Amino acid sequence: MYHSKRLPLKGDGGAVAILALQGAFAEHEQMLQRLGAETTLIRNLDDWNKALPQRGSGEGAIIPGGESTAMMRIMKDEGLFEPIREAILGGLPVLGTCAGLIMLDRNHLGVMDILAKRNAYGRQLGSFNTEENFRGIGKFPMTFIRAPYIEEAGPDVEILATVEGKAVAARQKNMLVTAFHPELTADTRIHELFLSMVAESRHDGFPKSDRSRQL
């Protein structure tokens, strides 16, 4: 399983930066702290610069759920858009959940070779719970809240989970996305997977110097 590798814990020299503009950022923070990981909340550019001063101590970032249009506007207003985009393109491990999935796609931050369909399940079916297989993990409880799904994915994108034939989780290099909210369950395995990506990034020497990650 993905999460079998050693996880970055407190004192390892890097914290996971959680974008705290709106949405379920507190639940992500609580989940990571349960796993013993350092976290820091990002509300503005000063927070970001303090969290990633050297861009290379094994950090990671989480973009939580929320409203993607509002999040894009706030990111740009706070001067966060380009620094976050460049860090991800440079190899920063990132987890995007629900609106975070949308934020990473071709039409938003433009770092992941996917196209998200927003509010894909409509108003009546906008919120529901199910349990489906997640590649490398097994059955996982999935909470969807006015969720997107992945409408298109490029050849380098690995689809990790589907619901009724629609892709709802994927990974491309240092980027992991879910259309559902793993932070709203008691199951820590997706966050463990993400932390294993952070540990791998430290071992591989983030940041990367080549620009082949750009779409």
Query: Annotated catalytic sites, by residue?
Result: 98, 181, 183
Torsion region of 182: left, alpha or beta (phi above 0 gives left; psi -120 to 50 gives alpha): alpha
Hey, what are 80's tokens? 């966060």
Hey, what are 213's tokens? 């990650």
